[in-house]
Amino acid sequence: MSISIETEEHKIIQLCLEGDSEQYALLVDKYKSMAYNIAYRMVGDADIAKDMAQESFISAYASLERFQYGSKFSSWLYRIVVNKCKDHLRAERDTVQVDEISDIVPSKERTPEQTVSSRQTGDVIQQALNLLPEEYRDVIVLKHIEELDYREISDILGVSVNALKVRAHRGREMLRKLLEKMGARV
């Protein structure tokens, strides 16, 4: 009989709540890439994304007693990361600068030309994502980049599945039009 991942995570959370804070490092190690990737896609800057991910883990740790054991830790953390990024973007209200996308996209034995082309494409996509209204960017990042299902996105954003499907459709159309305006082949 194997123990589910959720059960293991729930045990780790319980140990943290009982004072064994070192156990939290297991959750951080497991989800640090996910948190960074979401933050990067939302804010478009590698350094800010690292800060947002770190702040999210600190906030999650400080709020562990409010974790609902019926849900997945990853969904709960996604919601915290998304909210931290939204708060940051609201506070900044400036155009977010695009950083090197190669920092988060692993190299797969590409030629220099392929690497430059991939980086340029990633930069254009990130710029277009930055121009999307927040509610559409959230859904596009979580559905099409993080590949979450609509039910999990619904839990994270607190929006109905039907509304998310509409936002995803509209967001894809907006993104396609933005990419066309920017000269990208879509």
CATH code: domain of residue 21: 1.10.1740.10
Q: CB count, 10 Å around CB of 90? A: 9
**Together in a domain, 88 and 121:** no
**Together in a domain, 124 and 84:** no
- Burial group, residue 170, by CB count within 10 angstroms (0-12, 13-18, 19+): middle
pLDDT at 118: 55
**Together in a domain, 50 and 126:** no
Q: 72-94: per-residue pLDDT in tens? A: 899 899 999 999 998 888 877 54
**Together in a domain, 107 and 148:** yes
**Together in a domain, 10 and 88:** yes
pLDDT at 58: 92
Mean pLDDT, residues 33-49: 92
CATH number at residue 176: 1.10.10.10
Q: 122-135: per-residue pLDDT in tens? A: 777 888 888 889 88
Confidence of residue 37 (pLDDT cuts 50, 70, 90): very high
Coil/strand/helix, residue 58: helix
**Together in a domain, 57 and 78:** yes
Domain residues for 7?
A: 1-97
Q: 168-179: per-residue pLDDT in tens? A: 999 999 988 888
**Together in a domain, 57 and 143:** no
Boundary (domain end) residue, out of 97, 113, 137: 97
**Together in a domain, 80 and 138:** no
**Together in a domain, 72 and 108:** no
Mean pLDDT, residues 157-175: 91
Confidence of residue 99 (pLDDT cuts 50, 70, 90): very low
Query: For residue 97, what are the CA distances in angstroms to 16, 22, 126?
Result: 37, 36, 9
Boundary (domain end) residue, out of 63, 81, 97: 97
**Together in a domain, 78 and 165:** no
20: pLDDT strictly greater than 80? yes
Provide the number of structural domains found in the chain: 2
Task: Outline where the chain has alpha helix (H).
Answer: 5-17, 24-43, 46-62, 73-92, 112-131, 134-140, 150-157, 161-181
**Together in a domain, 126 and 62:** no
Mean pLDDT, residues 34-59: 93
112: pLDDT strictly greater than 90? no
**Together in a domain, 71 and 154:** no
Mean pLDDT, residues 45-55: 93
Boundary (domain end) residue, out of 30, 63, 97: 97
